[in-house]
């Protein structure tokens, strides 16, 4: 006979099992390192798609399935994050593709608040680049373990150990390769699997497919067979593996999770070489979802009642309906579509009737989700990045910081008859976090000031204003490059200074804008008692 306590005991056990199956990670890198191509290669190996969107030849290259914005397709870059979910073996993978361009690093930062691990993608020829370094530092600051993938090994590039030395020297992270390439960059034949103390345990040989559009066939050989097949090329890889082991560069799970080491895999996302190994490594080594602390520092465990954080809001993904999609990361409990939850910032109920997973422009209804899952909520007009949703036990998680803007411009509609649509569009893009919107009484609402990390954000704004709201706009750059947080008392005096303007951001923060560091230094020297707090280059 079943015990009366069995059903309630089963619920947390089942929830814990679902949590253990999840792996939620982001792909981060410098522009053009192959993030979107890798995203599709991973989906291809998980059999979510039958053919990758990238085909051989730059001129004939299709836009990847995860790139949905017309601007992304035209330029061949990602300017917004995309969340994909698929099953791989016994695990559920939540993969978040992010923009690589530094102008959109704020969007990437938001994604890094919603994941449990990161794949750092490095171009084999270019090595570590500025944006990669910046994003790695953000991941380190957030305590996110990093798996390194050295991509494009099918093209000429640096020597494998040189790239590993660069990681050690420039970011202080110890790389611990799980696989080493057989063949120099540009002659990618396969991978050597490293065992204990750097011993070669297997040779995985890859065969090219037409344009890399389908999964590359793999053949497995013993080290003895590999030596006969590849000769000196195999000997070189095996010797490099032993050298790494002698230097202490073997995988240690505890050091990896603590952020001291990073497992390394060499790959070619374009040819689908090494992609299965990346997926297997994520499943085996990346941590499952864990709880997080609320604004008061109190922990919320994954099996506590439902709660979630909004990390991304995006409109215009469905041009037929012009809806607004809020991406939430489930933190705790079980989500069921249709449940009524509470919006922590307003205290109001929020109905979750329309819940989706999103793959580019394709949408699938979600009935149930668990901690680690990323779910899109449709027509979430009240939600913004950093907001919290919860059921039962009240909780509010810390807000997501905003980046320090470095570029400023005024925006106005070309014709006055479009003013209503103009205002609606500005409010929409502001709430999504596409740009920060600044206002003051002098300039008025008809010509707000846009603040951005990079100038390409302005292009996104004008393109979306036209395509989604049919509002043609005119942008005028402003001669400011620095912003400092101030207070109402200081704002009065700052407004009197030539070359300084004070604005109120939508969240109520007062920002003083300066043309350059010399103007700022002059004001600080002449008026030392004013409040002028720096905004951190990464985030406030």
What does the alpha-carbon distance between residue 181 and residue 206 come to, in Å, rounded to a whole number? 11
The answer on whether 99 is annotated among ligand-binding residues is yes
What DSSP string describes 124-143?
A: TTTBS-HHHHHHHHHHHHTT
Is 186 marked within a binding site? no
What is the DSSP track for 436-474?
EEEE-TTT-TTSPEEEESSTHHHHHHHHHHHHHH---EE
Among 159, 193, 164, smallest CA distance to 178 is for 193
**How far is Cα 381 from Cα 350, in angstroms, rounded to an integer?**
10
Determine contact, residues 503/449, Cβ cutoff 8 Å: yes
Of 185, 178, 132, 187, residue with least CA distance to 158 = 185
How many whole angstroms separate alpha carbon 455 and alpha carbon 202? Answer: 48
98 marked ligand binding residue: yes
Measured CA to CA, the distance from residue 384 to residue 312 in angstroms comes to 7
Q: What is the DSSP letter of 271?
A: T
**67 near 360, Cβ under 8 Å?**
yes
Angle, CA of 524, 527 and 531, to the nearest 5°: 70
| 34 annotated as a binding-site residue | no
Phi, psi dihedrals of residue 182, rounded to the nearest 5° = -100, 110
Q: Residue 6 region, left (φ>0) first, then alpha (ψ -120 to 50), else beta?
A: alpha
Question: What is the rounded radius of gyration, in angstroms, for the C-alpha atoms of the chain?
Answer: 25
**Annotated binding-site ranges for GTP:** 97-101
**Annotated binding-site ranges:** 97-101
């Amino acid at each position: 006979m079943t015990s009366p306590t069995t059903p309630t005991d089963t619920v947390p056990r089942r929830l814990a099992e679902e949590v253990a199956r999840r792996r939620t990670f982001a792909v981060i890198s410098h522009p053009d390192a192959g993030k979107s191509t890798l995203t599709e290669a991973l989906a291809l190996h998980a059999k979510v798609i039958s053919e990758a969107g990238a085909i051989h030849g730059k001129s004939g290259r299709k836009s990847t399935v995860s790139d949905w914005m017309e601007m992304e397709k035209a330029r061949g870059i990602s300017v917004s994050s995309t969340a994909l979910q698929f099953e791989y073996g016994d695990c559920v993978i939540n993969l978040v593709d992010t923009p690589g361009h530094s102008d959109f690093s704020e969007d990437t930062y938001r994604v890094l608040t919603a994941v449990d691990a990161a794949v750092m993608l490095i171009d084999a020829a270019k090595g570590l680049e500025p944006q990669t370094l910046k994003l790695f530092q953000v991941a380190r600051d957030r305590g996110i373990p990093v798996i390194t993938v050295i991509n494009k090994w099918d093209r000429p590039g640096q020597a494998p150990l040189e790239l590993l030395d660069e990681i050690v020297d420039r970011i202080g992270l110890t790389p611990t390769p799980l696989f080493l390439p057989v063949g120099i960059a540009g002659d990618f034949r396969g991978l050597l699997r490293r065992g204990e103390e750097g011993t070669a345990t297997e040779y995985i040989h890859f065969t090219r497919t037409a344009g890399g559009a389908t999964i590359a066939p793999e053949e497995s050989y013993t080290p003895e067979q590999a030596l006969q097949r590849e000769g000196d090329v195999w000997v070189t890889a095996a010797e490099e593996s032993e050298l790494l082991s002698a230097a202490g560069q073997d995988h240690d799970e505890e050091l990896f999770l603590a952020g001291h080491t990073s497992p390394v895999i060499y790959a070619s996302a374009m040819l689908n070489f090494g992609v299965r190994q990346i997926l297997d490594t994520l499943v085996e080594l990346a941590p499952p979802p864990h709880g997080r602390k609320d604004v008061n520092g109190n922990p919320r465990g994954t099996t506590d009642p439902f709660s979630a954080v909004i990390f991304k809001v995006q409109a215009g993904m469905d041009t037929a309906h012009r809806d607004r999609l809020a991406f939430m990361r489930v933190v705790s409990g079980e989500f069921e579509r249709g449940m009524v939850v509470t919006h922590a910032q307003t205290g109001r109920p929020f109905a979750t009737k329309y819940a989706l997973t999103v793959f580019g422009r394709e949408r699938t209804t979600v009935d149930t989700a668990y901690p680690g899952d990323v779910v899109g909520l449709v027509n979430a007009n009240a939600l913004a990045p950093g907001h919290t949703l919860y059921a039962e036990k009240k909780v509010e998680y810390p807000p997501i910081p905003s980046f320090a803007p470095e570029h400023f411009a005024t925006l106005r509609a070309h014709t006055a008859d479009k003013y209503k649509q103009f205002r609606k569009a500005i409010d929409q893009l502001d709430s999504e976090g596409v740009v920060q919107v600044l206002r003051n009484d002098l300039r008025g609402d008809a010509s707000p000031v846009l603040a951005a990390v990079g100038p390409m954000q302005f292009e996104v704004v004008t393109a979306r204003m036209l395509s989604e709201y049919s509002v043609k706009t005119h942008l005028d750059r402003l001669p400011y490059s620095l912003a400092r947080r101030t207070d109402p008392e200081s704002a009065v005096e700052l407004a009197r200074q030539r070359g300084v303007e004070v604005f109120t951001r939508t969240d109520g923060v007062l920002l003083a804008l300066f043309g350059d560091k010399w103007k700022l230094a002059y004001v600080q020297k002449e008026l030392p008692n004013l409040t002028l707090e720096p905004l951190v280059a990464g985030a406030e």
